Structure 1
Amino acid sequence: MKLNSIQALRAVAAMLVMIYHVRAIEMDAFLRNGLDDQPLVSLLIENGFAGVDLFFVISGFIMVYVTGEVRASLATSGAFLFARAARIYPVWWLFALIMTGYFFVAYGVPYDVERTVGGSELMAEQPWLHLVYSYLLLPQHSVPVFGLGWTLVHEMHFYLVFAVLMLMPRRFLPWLLGIWAAMVTGGSLAGLSGAYAADYLKLFFHPLSMEFIAGAFAAMLVTSGRRFRPGTVLALGLAAMFASLLLQGDETAFTLGWGRVLWFGIPCLLIVYGYSALEVEGRAGAPKWLVTVGDWSYALYLSHTFVLSALRRIFNALCARLEGTQYADWFTLGAPGLMDNVLFYLLGISLSMIAAWLTFRFFERPAMRLAGKMRRALFADTNAQLRPGPIRTAVW
């Protein structure tokens, strides 16, 4: 059973991050143009990076949900890890390669020199390692060659730990997740984590792992029939999310770690639990267009910053070409009036959606089909286990 509620929430998460970056690039253009203007959208979107927290909770939920029939074995864990790696790496490599090419054309080296110099001594001496770590999504002292990949470093860590947990019988999963949560909490409070997961130690004890664990517990509750007043829970989650988007303050070491978990992770947990529980009980659905965008969500997440950056450059070129005409201000971000802002938002969002569809249709979906064939060939005896299990009737 495909949960349309989860796909719809994936779409919301991706669009929230996209609009957050539209606003960020809009404001950066104001500064570059030397103009003082107000962004078209501020309320709620200033903290739109919370879409990442929603993604993390959803990831934990999906991992438990899609392994409902699993039986503990090394082969099953291997099949799971292969499936998740095949889901993440191909599209990531596509956009990381585009970014690598951009750096090479623009600066003569295939990476951002400042990132390697500002990172560890090893990266500064052997900057090619920055690319190796980036393409493999390994933790390092600088963000990957394509900055959005920092979230995927966490995703791959989640999958690896969950694959290890799958080696134990399924009945132990709640206890194992609890132990993982206790280790993360204890290690973080002991100072073993940081605002950025620069190495394996900081990655393992990073508070953001709590969002994945929370999503996993939500899936266990929903599928086991422990669905307590899901409508009320969803309403509380939405209210808390709106409040957090409005009130969460400036970025600090706390707000980048435990602050995110408290401000956004908890509301996202309530939303995912409440919405999915309503769907399995037949009391809620999701708009078809939102489910479709959910299918594109990974492609949208990785492609939209390229579209927006290119659009800003196009606006600059058109502004220079139309200088002296009444239309120049339409393409001058920061100019008086709303036309420049509205055009940038409409074109940025529309073109990002088109890029996401093209990426999904002509690259991601074919890559997924090929990976599926490889998984069936490599893990024929365990492949059938990686599917949702039965959802029990409500017990509350």
Structure 2
Amino acid sequence: MGNAILSSEQHIVELTGIRGVAVLMVLLWHFIGAVISPSLGSASAWLSSILIFGRTGVDLFFVLSGFLIIGILVDKREKESYFATFYLRRAARILPPYLILLLFFWGFTLCLPANTYFNADISPVTYLLFLQNWYMSFHNEWGPSASSVTWSVAIEEQFYLVFPVVVYLTPVSRLRIILWATGAISAAARAYFHLKYPDNHFAPYVNTLLRLDELCLGGLIAMAFRREQSLAWLNKRRPLITLVLTLCVGAIPFFLVLYSKQPADTMYYWGHLYLGLLYGTAIIVILLNRDHGRLRVLHCAPLRFFGTISYSVYLFHPMVIGLFFIAMRRGERLQTLEDLSLLTAAFVCTIVLCWISYNFVEKPILNWARQFSYGPYQKRAIA
């Protein structure tokens, strides 16, 4: 229940459902909102302006990732095999689908004429080092569309590489201060960068240093649910936290209106902060009320299914969309029933491929990695 201290050993079904919500938001945008043709009339423009909120599924993923990773690191920081086991398990989770994606991407890039989806604008070494988001920052472009979504994976991987050291070297009492400070500085730097370089719309969106606030927020939530005093404070203020969440949800239409008029200013000055508050309070409310009947929707099979395969679905769906449109020699748009059939086929193909990937590649590797224990506790000077 919500008054119990959390541990990284627990499986919280509701968070799997939330991951399903996040990836479905992204899919709604990429399969419908981003491609629907304006020629269909005002209804299509209205639908696109609503579904663009699906892009913020990435913000939700960032808060969830910060919650998961900082939670694991805080729980295991005193263990003997802290670094080795953490990095091995993260590699087992991140690398298999990612390397498969790159293998297919480079294969199609070599076999097909250069196009929007497959080209060599970003070098293989850049992808292998998870530095593509820095390329996008400096060049103010996505690079090839089939691999463009990997910018967020690069940010998370860089976070995973650095923060185990930060958590290990920092007393828990000071770690909260570091997370608060890092998140605040990152958000301020994002706003300043946009003010200083308004023509670069990519760096404030994809640069690691400018997107740490939501990851740090997730980490702060994880720490709060591991400390009795903080958890008691949250429990006493459930009505207030629920009110904040309600107000944030109610503000979504206003956010969308402002975003439609000034997307860059909206997102980089305050939008990501608003989304962090929205998704952060949503996670807090869910954790405080887990196992409550009102949250049973997050236990439903479809959300748990999409939550389980969310990582590979997120990675592979742009490539599959691109391949279907290339094969049919059509531009990427949703205008006719034929386009709808094409996108439906691409969606089904994505889900089937990712189900196969999870069950026959990812899951066996994850089970193998779980054999490696963090080991016993060790005595250290830093507490």
Q: Which one of 316, 319, 322 corresponds to residue 309 of structure 1?
A: 322
Partner of 1:18: 27
Deviation at 1:93, TM superposition (A): 1.0
1:181 correspondence with 2:183: yes
RMSD: 3.6
The correspondence for 2:358, drawn from 357, 360, 382, is: 360
The offset of 1:195, in angstroms, is 4.5
Aligned to 1:136: 129
Query: Alpha carbons of 1:25 and 1:100: their partners in 2 closer, same or farther (altered >3 Å)?
Result: farther
Question: Which secondary structure state, in structure 1, belongs to the residue aligned with residue 358 of structure 2?
Answer: helix
Instruction: Report the number of matched residues.
Output: 341
Name the TM-score, length of structure 2 as normaliser: 0.75
Structure 2 partner of 1:172: 174
Task: Tell me which residue corresponds to 1:269.
Answer: 280
Deviation (angstroms), 1:92: 0.8
Q: Does 1:5 align with 2:14?
A: yes
Alignment of 1:1-396 (within 5 A): 1-23=10-32, 26-27=35-36, 36-38=39-41, 39=44, 41-72=47-78, 75-107=81-113, 112-113=119-120, 115-116=121-122, 130-138=123-131, 139-142=133-136, 143=142, 146-167=147-168, 168-185=170-187, 187-188=189-190, 191=193, 195-197=201-203, 203-206=207-210, 208-224=211-227, 225=231, 226-227=234-235, 228-229=237-238, 231-241=242-252, 243-245=254-256, 247-249=258-260, 253-255=264-266, 257-279=268-290, 284-285=295-296, 286-289=298-301, 290-313=303-326, 333-335=334-336, 339-340=337-338, 342-344=340-342, 346-373=344-371, 375-376=372-373, 380-381=375-376
State the SS of the aligned residue for 1:112. Answer: coil
Q: Which residue of 1 aligns with 2:5?
A: none
Structure 2 distance, partners of 1:37, 1:26, is 12
Cα deviation, residue 301, structure 1: 0.5
What residue ranges of structure 2 are gaps of 5+ in the alignment?
Answer: 1-9, 137-141, 379-383
Most deviating of 104-113 and 149-158: 104-113
Change (3 A) 1:220 1:245: farther
1:216 counterpart letter in structure 2? G
The 8 Å contact of residues 25 and 309 in structure 1, kept in 2 or not, is answered as no
Identity %: 22
Once the two structures are superposed, what CA deviation does each residue of 1:62-110 show, in whole Å capped at 9, x if it has no partner?
1233345323478424432332233212211111111111111113899
Output the CA distance in 1 between the equivalents of 2:55 and 2:356: 24
Instruction: Decide whether aligned partners of structure 1 residues 243 and 361 sit closer, same or farther in structure 2, where only a CA change above 3 A counts.
Output: farther
Cα gap change, 1:364 to 1:183, in 2 (>3 Å): same
CA deviations on 1:9-31 (whole Å, 9 max, x unpaired) are 1111111111211126634xx59
SS at match of 1:334: coil
Contact (CA 8 Å) 1:154, 1:203: kept in 2 or not?
A: yes
Answer whether contact 2:78 2:377 (CA < 8 A) is retained.
Answer: no
Alpha-carbon displacement from aligned partner over 1:289-336 (angstroms, at most 9, x marks no partner): 11222111101111212232233345558xxxxxxxxxxxxxx9524x
Distance in 2 between residues matched to 1:204 and 1:222, nearest whole Å: 26
When normalised by structure 1's length, the TM-score is 0.73
Cα displacement (A) at 1:360: 1.0
On the 8 A contact 1:17/1:50 being kept in 2, the answer is yes
Unaligned runs of 5+ in 1: 117-129, 318-331, 384-396
- 1: CA distance between counterparts of 2:277 and 2:288? 16
Partner of 1:320: none
Shift of 1:134: 0.7
Shift of 1:283: 6.2
Aligned partners of 2:320 and 2:346 also within 8 Å: yes
Give the corresponding residue for 2:3.
Answer: none
